[in-house]
Amino acid sequence: MKAPCNDFKRRLAAGEVLNGFWLSLASPVASEALSLAGFDWLLFDGEHSPVDVAGVQPLLQAAATGTASAVVRPAWNDKVLIKRLLDIGAQTLLVPFVQSAEEAAAAVLASRYPPHGVRGVAGATRASRYGQTEDYFAVANREICVLVQVETGEALGRLEEIAAVDGVDGVFIGPSDLAASMGHLGRPGHPEVQAALKDAAARIAATGKAPGILATNAADARRYVDWGYRFVAAGVDIGVLMAGAKAMLAEVRGS
């Protein structure tokens, strides 16, 4: 049995634009259903949701039903969390709050086995099909995709240094936290923030790395793609659920 290939990493390196969706409900049912909706990737959020590492595994198992690639965001840039998520089968990680090249390098090292990193070695994990693959240790480092999240003005000032770190495959800009750090808490649509987002896409692309971002609606997602972002989440599960439910209620009430 062969170890799985990372289709997300392959397609990102090929220059494709990948349309994604953000999941925070921690529901295997939602995970399975949305994996069949046609998205290129799904993000399972371990930072701003109640799910812990053990709760991520059933989400990954459910998502394996469909065709969307799984991306997992750990709660922090922590080598123990990264090791545990990789062991349960995550191949692509979105590491939050990366402020410097050194922090980006630490995330990469945590995702690699020695001698190229510090990831602890375990044999019978879900990542290696419970020890049934014949080549997992030979290909694991190559198949892991590391995306780092830049979400403050301070980190934005070091964008090229962060993106240049070997092993970083993409740089994701967090609009909400960036807006807060720029003095526009709760207003990612502020013109100053939007200008910074547009500039960031060009700067990341100039380093040869893929820019990524989260949108909360289709119009924003299309604009971000036009600006050069190549992995874009077009919405968040709880937001889509609430908007759909409220629209239905308004229609029922005739309001």
Give the per-residue pLDDT at 8.
98
Over residues 209-220, the pLDDT tens digits come to 999 999 999 999
Percent of the chain with pLDDT over 70: 100
Q: What is the pLDDT of residue 32?
A: 98
- Alpha-carbon dihedral of residues 126, 132, 137, 138, nearest 10 degrees? -130
Q: pLDDT value at position 90?
A: 98
Which CATH number describes the domain made up of 7-149+211-253?
3.20.20.60
pLDDT tens digits along 116-148: 999 999 989 999 999 999 999 999 999 999 999
Instruction: Tell me the average pLDDT of the chain.
Output: 97
pLDDT tens-digit series, residues 148-171: 999 999 999 999 999 999 999 999
H helix intervals, 157-217 = 159-163, 175-181, 191-206
Confirm whether 48 is a catalytic residue. yes
Q: Is the pLDDT of residue 255 over 90?
A: no
Domain coordinates of the chain in residue numbers? 7-149+211-253
* 61-117 pLDDT, tens digit each: 999 999 999 999 999 999 999 999 999 999 999 999 999 999 999 999 999 999 999
C-alpha 243/C-alpha 237 separation (Å) is 10
pTM, two decimal places: 0.97
Nearest to 21 by CA among 244, 232, 182, 250: 232
From the list 48, 116, 184, 190, the catalytic residue is 48
Q: What is the mean pLDDT of residues 2-18?
A: 97
